[in-house]
Chain A
Amino acid sequence: MTEMVHGSIPGGDGEPILPRWWRTVDKWSMSCVLALFGMGLLLGLAASPPLAERNGFSAFHYVERQVMFGSIALIVMFAITLMSPKTVRRLAVVGFGLSLIAVALLPFFGTDFGKGAVRWYSLGIGSFQPSEFLKPGFIVLVGWMIAASNEVAGPPGKTYSFGLALIVVMLLALQPDFGQACLILFAWGVMYFVGGAPFLVLAGIAGLTVAGGAFAYQNSEHFARRIDGFLSAEVDPTTQLGYAANAIREGGFFGVGVGEGTVKWSLPDAHTDFIIAVAAEEYGLLLVLVIIVLYATIVLRSLFRLMRERDPFIRLAGTGLACTFAMQAMINISVAVRLLPAKGMTLPFVSYGGSSLVAGGILIGMLLAFTRARPQGEIRDYLVRSGR
């Protein structure tokens, strides 16, 4: 009666937010992310002073900024993990829309910082790379669309999402940023694969990717030079790749010692794309393997948890996020060990870079939000096995 008079009691299932969060969130993956961030700081201490010196800042200028952006990223990450998948989806779609507009406007308002690709907006305190923020939103949206298309009488989401992916890829290729474009395509492909793609179509996509790569090789000098550098058997020791390979050899199993490395002085991208080379030189194979294990743990645990997930949207979006994260890390490390051609891609959470860090926080926050344990209604399988 009281309820009928005074309205229903606010609050859902009676469990406070934080305890429930703590109970359901993937604590191992979260610890791995924190560990990776810590490694990023540790390596930043080693890798960024030369750059700071070149740019006339105090030695640990970039480490300070890394701490600042990292704090923002972690706060964003925690905030997102607290949200329900539905809220995440809502925000992600809005975020995707905004960053798509930002990317589309890059040719008009962006700067290239003399690096040959217009990828950044120059803000007062730093630069902002909208394509980093595009990814998590895109993945969530595509996951939603593909999940919806699998519903009875759902929209043709697979076709539409592919169209969306092509638009995004085109925008990125215009910058040019083939790395991010590849990641976007890859994310779509993975979600399409898990969302039930016929194998024939998968083969077709693989073929298209190869053809697209060949086209880019033919038409982009930027792209062709990197592929040529990869295919030539001899590493030119004066290139970034040559320095990186040498640094890894110098480091051996246990490294040359903290602060003793030299590669950071010769590599312009030591603090971003080639941070793994700095890690390998100063701390040796040991730390590199630890980093690889951390990434693998996050990805494999997430995938394992997603296997049990029954909500198709959460499963698809989570898969997309986890695989994109893994792919980015893997590409970065593979370039340093010459398994892949040189590609400017940051190592999530470890490399320096404000946009990359915060976007990584968003991505992992979403992933952790999606992989939170929630009732899956498994018991119904045994109770209600009613077909059509």
Chain B
Amino acid sequence: MTRTPLRPLARILAARRDGENPDSIERENLAARHEADRDTQRERAEGRLLVLGIVFLCAFFMVGLKMSVMAGSDPVEPKSAASGAQIVGARADITDRNGRILATNLTTHSLYAQPHQMIDPDRAARELAAIFPDLNDEKLFQQFTGKKKFLWIKRRISPEQQQAVFDIGEPGLLFGPREMRLYPNGKLASHVLGGVSFGREGVSAAELVGIAGIEKAMDSELRDPGRGDVPLALSMDLTIQAAVEHVLYGGMRLMNAKGAAAVLMDVHTGEIISLASLPDFDPNDRPKPLTEGDQADSPLFNRAVQGLYELGSTFKIFTTGQAVDERLVSRSTWIDTKGPMTWGKHRIRDFKDHGPAMTVEDVIVESSNIGTARIAMMIGAERQQNFLAKLGLFKPVPVELVEARGAKPLLPRKWSEIHTMTVSYGHGLSTSPLHLAGAYATLLNGGRSVVPSLLKGGKPLGASVVTENTSAQMRDFLRQVVVRGTATLGEVEGYHVAGKTGTADKPKPTGGYYDDKVIATFASVFPANDPKYVLVVTLDEPVETSGPKPRRTAGWTAVPVAAEIIRRTAPLLGLAPDVEHRRAQGVTLVNN
């Protein structure tokens, strides 16, 4: 800092010489310099203040301009802009493959109260209790006179109830629109559809959230606001589903079974035409899950998808199919079936003695455990596992049902040779009927791997598993089962039913097997000469009592039920019966 001398020395010296007080000169000088400083500062400050003023003016102008631009621009979809916070009640319809409604939305109303707006809470409580018998008027009155400013009374009310509440004339009782999921067909296809419940809830809407079945598996797709009005088309056919459920219910009652399941699948595309599980429920009024006991006894339990059973002899065709495909045997190869067959401490028996040896074809037709086990030994454990895995029997079925994800087949922990033998005839490996249907479709459609799907159009086919020739031979084997084997009751005239029975003792929860409880399964394909559909029917603990002894084998229980289903549904599926064309007798072609 440069210092200027405080005193104008020359003048002060002169003043001192003259005897004057130099302080006044000093002050005068100071004042003058002060003035000068202030002037320069003021001029500079004036300039800078002007700059500031202009800057602020521009800034205010800019803010005003931006505001004008914003105010002038159109509000870009103000509703959808705020939709993130809004509750969207929309949910796409679900239809069957022909566009018939399986699930749709219905606008109903919810009833809520704002007690601080009420005029006569006592009367309102009494009248409400009269309209809704499940409400308690004293409790309502307490709520209406309490501190709450808002309370739900009913989540969904019918138009009649709404009118009745409206007639109370109480301004504190208010209605909010409420989308409701409606399943117009009632119990039909209940396990496939599953159900919904309310998610986030507001006065003007509530989210409909899928909680089971395809509603949950496809929840985000169904709730996608961009979907518009496009319904979700399933591969199911409403008519056929109705017929299947009807026949299956009759069969279940007739065979005294406690449960039943059926899967009807397009053999080429994997589209599930019908999937039924009994007992069933009404998705409009979904029962509560069991709080105790076995969940498998709940009507909510989907036996066709969640039920993991040892499906018994139906697996024999996989063993034979692999052996034929890998040219280990041909249909006329003789297999040693002398029983009982012992392996270590295990003994394998047949249901009845088939003699010392039989052909591969007869092993299937007569359903010989020993014969199948011997064929499995030719294949070996590793190749057997690979083949079964290719048929999709080791993983959960990738079908659009949330229940399917948890249904992972139960495999032997360590795959030893005895397991190779037992699995070859369907014991020691638990799968769902849907697994079986998918595997049958793959094996019998010419060998192309199918992925079961509930969506119309199905999923793309996978790799080839067996040759066309093997596939045709297997169909022939299965056809012989119906013609002269264990499933003769399965013959439906004109439709060339081919299939394999399976009767498996149910495992006890404590270990070992029940003597008198079986799972009876009939896995079939029709028509055998030109396969179109696979049908798997499973009955849980059936017993057929028309004979002198109670009969539990699948040939007596599951097979006639399946045959009836085919008889009923085949015409609906558009299959023409292949009847022998007799020459028209007595009819003369007349030509005028």
A residues sitting closer than 8 Å to B (CB atoms) are 150-153, 190, 193-196, 236-238, 242-243, 245-246, 248-253, 266, 280, 284-285, 288-289, 292, 295-296, 299-300, 303-304, 306-307, 310, 312, 315-316, 319, 323, 326, 330, 333-334, 337-339, 386-388
Contact = CB atoms under 8 A, between A and B. Distances in A.
A330 B46 contact: no
Most buried by A among B33, B56, B63, B74: B63
11 contacts: A194-B52, A246-B75, A250-B75, A288-B67, A296-B60, A303-B53, A307-B46, A319-B52, A330-B60, A333-B63, A337-B63
Contact of A237 (B34, B63, B71, B81): B81
Nearest to A254: B71
Given A237-B82, A237-B84, A249 B45 contact: no
B158 to A, nearest CB: 32
A312 B38 contact: yes
Given A246-B82, A300-B53, A319-B49, A386 B66 contact: no
B453 to A, nearest CB: 37
B76 interface: yes
Interface in B20-73: 29-30, 32-38, 41-42, 44-46, 48-50, 52-53, 56-57, 59-60, 62-64, 66-68, 70-73
Contacts of A249: 70-71, 73-76, 78
A70 B45 CA distance: 34
A194 B45 contact: yes
A337 B36 contact: no
A306 B33 CA distance: 23
Contacts of B84: 236-238
Interface of B: 6, 8, 29-30, 32-38, 41-42, 44-46, 48-50, 52-53, 56-57, 59-60, 62-64, 66-68, 70-76, 78, 81-85
A292 B63 contact: yes
B71 A196 contact: no
Contacts of A152: 30, 33-34, 37
A151 B34 contact: yes
A61 B532 CA distance: 76
A336 B523 CA distance: 69
A303 B67 contact: no
B53 A196 contact: no
Chain B: interface secondary structure? helix
A303 B33 contact: no
A251 B71 contact: yes
Given A249-B73, A296-B56, A319-B52, A337 B66 contact: yes
Nearest to A303: B53
B32 A386 contact: yes
B78 A303 contact: no
Nearest to A334: B63
A319 B47 CA distance: 13
A280 B44 CA distance: 40
A246 B78 contact: yes
A236 B84 CA distance: 9
A316 to B, nearest CB: 8
Contacts of A289: 64, 67-68
Nearest to A284: B71
B49 A194 contact: yes
Given A285-B72, A307-B50, A386-B35, 19 more contacts: A196-B41, A237-B84, A238-B84, A246-B81, A249-B74, A253-B71, A280-B67, A300-B56, A304-B53, A307-B53, A310-B42, A312-B42, A326-B60, A333-B67, A337-B63, A337-B67, A339-B62, A387-B36, A388-B29
A160 B53 CA distance: 27
Given A300-B53, A330-B60, A387 B32 contact: yes
Nearest to A376: B42
A253 B59 CA distance: 21
A310 B38 contact: yes
B34 A307 contact: no
Given A237-B82, A250-B75, A323-B56, A339 B45 contact: no
A250 B46 contact: no
Contacts of B48: 193-194
B47 to A, nearest CB: 9
B188 to A, nearest CB: 41
Nearest to A285: B71
Nearest to A156: B1
Contacts of A333: 63, 67
A303 B36 contact: no
Contacts of B53: 299-300, 303-304, 307
A250 B41 CA distance: 50
Contacts of A295: 60
Contacts of B67: 248, 280, 285, 288-289, 292, 333, 337
Contact of A150 (B37, B52, B62): B37
Contact of B52 (A246, A292, A303, A310): A303
A182 to B, nearest CB: 15
Contacts of A334: 63, 66
Contacts of B76: 249
A138 B196 CA distance: 63
Contacts of B30: 152
A237 B63 CA distance: 21
A316 B44 CA distance: 12
A326 B56 contact: yes
Given A194-B52, A238-B82, A245 B63 contact: no
A152 B52 CA distance: 26
Contacts of A194: 45, 48-49, 52
Contacts of B59: 330
B49 A248 contact: no
A119 B26 CA distance: 52
Nearest to A302: B53
B223 to A, nearest CB: 18
Given A246-B82, A248-B67, A196 B45 contact: yes
Contacts of B56: 296, 299-300, 303, 323, 326, 330
Nearest to B30: A152
B277 to A, nearest CB: 43
B60 A248 contact: no
Contact of A337 (B50, B57, B70): B70
Contacts of A338: 66
B45 A315 contact: yes
A134 B30 CA distance: 36
A239 B44 CA distance: 45
Nearest to B59: A330
A339 B63 CA distance: 8
A334 B60 CA distance: 9
Contact of A250 (B34, B36, B78): B78
Contacts of A330: 56, 59-60, 63
A298 to B, nearest CB: 10
Nearest to A286: B71
Contacts of A339: 62-63, 66
B531 to A, nearest CB: 54
Most buried by A among B56, B62, B84: B56
Most buried by B among A237, A242, A288, A292: A237
Nearest to A337: B66
**Top 7 closest pairs, chain A to chain B, by CB:** A249-B75, A285-B71, A237-B81, A296-B60, A303-B53, A337-B66, A238-B84
B72 to A, nearest CB: 7
A364 B502 CA distance: 95
A257 to B, nearest CB: 15
A196 B37 CA distance: 12
Contacts of A150: 37, 41
